[in-house]
Amino acid sequence: MIGDLGARDATELAGLVARKEVSAEELLDAALAATEARNPAINAVVLVQEEVARAEIRAGLPPGPFRGVPFLIKDLGLEAKGLPAHNGSRLSMNSTYSADCNLMARMRATGVVTFGRTTSPEGGVGIATEAAVYGGPTRNPWNTDHTPGGSSGGAAAAVAAGIVAFSHGSDGGGSVRVPASSCGLFGFKPTRARLPDGPWSGEGWAGMAIDGFLTRSVRDTAVMLDAVEGPDQGAPYYAPALQKGYAQAISRPPRRLRIALCDTSFTGEAIDPEVAAAVRETGKLLESLGHHVEPACPRAGIAAMMQAWTDIVAVGSALTIRGKLKGRPLSEEMVEAVGRDALRYAESLSPLRYLEAVEEIHDFGREMAAFFAPESGAGYDILLSATLAEPPARIGRFNHTREDYLGFRLGPQGCFAYSPFAAVFNASGQPAASLPLAWSQSGLPVGMHLAAPFGADEELIALCAEIEAAVYWNRRAPLAG
């Protein structure tokens, strides 16, 4: 039975533990064996803490919905006692924490068995996962010449390779949804401030960053989000309250929805023909389910938003780098080239620029809200697009070896050209998801992206579950699995 656990989702594994058909120790053994067998090809799992995980099992796991299920957390910004971190950077190697952050405490309460971390790019600013601190790039299990995406690339690669059934990630510009698309998984970004950031942080990247999960099934995401959602003490702002919760929302299909289909970028540029065709096929699927689908793209200041996003992230990166340097000189041995140039660029900005950029992000959110508001004359319930403008890129295209932060982000072959959809909804704060609905002719996953109005998480995830029920997620074994 344990040999085929890579094909099961976390909910099913938890059921096996609850029925005593398998033990938490046996599941951990299987996950560790899979790590040993599969991780060398993909370089996704790092800082394994086997004894910490076994001690948690011996101490008695909480009776949560995922009791006994092996779990991994992203190696970026998630403070967790007993689980050291590099945070994607040589500057932060072997950081340790005396206590859990609030999100980690809530995840532990679900009963998961956390035994290590997954790779991320330095600073979390990449669309690929190729940080120098890990000794080599993280690779896509479907084709190891290609990237699993970023910045939660290690999390997605580990799930796609069958090392774990689900994994923690985070999303500040598509960093859950882009890896989900690249690795054939489900990735959901909740509404801004839906999940706790404290107690050591008030918000990430002016509220654009939020945590999430890489899963094989919609139900795993729904149950975990229910377990961890809600503000923590002292949160600077709250998301609108859920009406019934994610898990209850997926128990029945949503109402029939008005869906806008955009098979170009949101500013009208052509995307890869295979990907565009997949968007149109997804539109046909939604029509077959009874939804109304029509061509439409939002009219909003995408270029200004992208520049503001880039400036805010540069300032955030500079703050982290300066704090970690602790007065030491900046060097190539400590910080990769993109990070060094992000620091230089941030320090060249006007002292007024950060708040100006935040205001531009807020203005953009109002523009996007109008696209979904009935009183605006548009009134769409859902916006359908691709998650990426092309299939997963080759290793090396988005590494951090060039000292050109702006070109890396905004250049004609940069991150935003490759991923022109996802960061839009970090800026607007809206819920959005990537669904594994298509494949390129070369056999690589191609995700489809759905976004909903601010606060409409439940309707969005209900639609995702309806699609999942109608279309079997492809469960082919990846090459590195």
Burial class for 300, CB neighbours closer than 10 Å (0-12, 13-18, 19+):
buried
Catalytic entry in 74, 92, 182, 419? 74
Catalytic entry in 89, 92, 120, 151? 151
Q: Is 348 a catalytic residue?
A: no
| Residues 71, 250, 455, 105, Cα dihedral to 10° | -30
How many Å separate Cα 431 from the centre of its chain? 12
Instruction: List b or e across 113-125, with b for residues whose CB sees 16 or more CB atoms inside 10 angstroms.
Output: bbbbbbbbbbbbb
**What gap in Å lies between CA 201 and CA 88, rounded to an integer?**
18
Q: Is 98 a catalytic residue?
A: no
Instruction: Give the amino acid at 216.
Output: R
Q: Is 151 a catalytic residue?
A: yes
Instruction: Give the amino acid at 249.
Output: A
Catalytic entry in 89, 175, 317, 419? 175
**What gap in Å lies between CA 207 and CA 239, rounded to an integer?**
11
Active site residues: 74, 151, 175
